[in-house]
Amino acid sequence: MEQTINSLERTIGERVREMRTLQALTLDELAIRSGVSRAMISRVERGEASPTAQLLAKVCSALGTTLSALFASAADNPSPIARRAEQRLWRDPESGYLRRSVSPEGLGSPVDIVEVEFPPGARVVFERQPADRGITQHLWLFSGRLELTMESGPQVLEAGDCLFMGLEEAHIFHNPYDEPAHYAVILCRTKV
């Protein structure tokens, strides 16, 4: 059975708490590092809030991890195959974009592949995250059109286009068009 959005949302708080605890960080320390309020982090950890993509990006950067790593389960026997029915789904509660973790989990690969369905009218802003230096991504647009605004300037992507960018840059994803944008993100962690 396909991993449901709700089952993944239930684990987000547990994973944030687990990662924070492994780094011996208090809620206050994570709040300072991430720029997210202590109260909101506490609500996320207790499963009382449905965090947005922007909030999770800030928390992940402060924890030195990625969204893919946050969403991954700790598999006892990792498999080199990630069956579609077992791939984790998450929907951003603010923009409605749907994120599917395509890569097999638990293998230690520095590459993550994510499939995204970005609805018409959706807009997501990711602030500059200097802690993400050395993490890069390719965005390969399969269908639709997508506007990206980055520090280097705006880009309009059409089906078949592929854009390379550093994850530490501030960027805005926007779909002002009438059809969804469907794309893959190939993320590579090269930082040491």
- What confidence tens digit (pLDDT) does each residue in 116-164 have? 999 999 999 988 877 677 889 999 999 999 999 998 899 999 999 999 9
Q: What string of DSSP letters covers 116-160?
A: EEE-TT-EEEE---GGGTTEEEEEEEEESEEEEEETTEEEEEETT
- The pLDDT value recorded for residue 88 is 87
Cβ atoms < 10 Å from Cβ of 162: 12
59-64-72-171 Cα dihedral, nearest 10 degrees: 60
The mean pLDDT of 65-88, rounded to a whole number, is 82
- Domains by residue range for the chain, with CATH: 82-186 (2.60.120.10)
**Mean pLDDT of all residues belonging to the chain:** 89
- pTM for the complete prediction? 0.82
